[in-house]
Amino acid sequence: YDKALDLFDEMQRKRNLTPDVVTYNALISACDKVGQWRKASDLLEELVDKGLTPTAVTFNSIIAACGTAGQWKKALTLFRTLERQRAPGRPQIASYNAVIGACAKSGETTTA
């Protein structure tokens, strides 16, 4: 996770490369692996601020990160945002799996 963030910083500052949605998706997924849902949220915000459009994969990754951290309400809010969003980010089976998993991990079985 830390190395991924270092490389992200290096790519922008030292190499003058502009990250794309795939880059952000990879970082958000890395955040999930280490329970850093707040950093994942910050990255989503940064992605949007840079004029990029989050995809279903973006949302799936951040919903999973929220689920790992027990943030089921945030995961559900993000899923609802994905539902309202126009292409390219429509809910996929993985989106439903991620939000169901987030709710279930927090004991919200009736919500799931």
**Distance between CA atoms of 15 and 97, rounded to whole angstroms?**
37
**Distance between CA atoms of 92 and 30, rounded to whole angstroms?**
20
3 state DSSP class of 38? helix
pLDDT at 91: 85
The pTM score is: 0.85
Mean pLDDT per 10-residue interval, the chain, length 112 residues: 90 90 95 92 95 92 93 94 76 91 87 66
Contact indicator for 58, 78 with CB cutoff of 8 Å: no
pLDDT at 50: 94
Contact indicator for 19, 12 with CB cutoff of 8 Å: yes
pLDDT at 86: 67
A 10 A CB-CB count for 6 gives: 10
pLDDT per residue as tens digits for the range 42-71: 999 999 999 999 998 999 999 999 999 999
Q: Angle 102-105-111 (CA atoms, 0-180°, nearest 5)?
A: 65
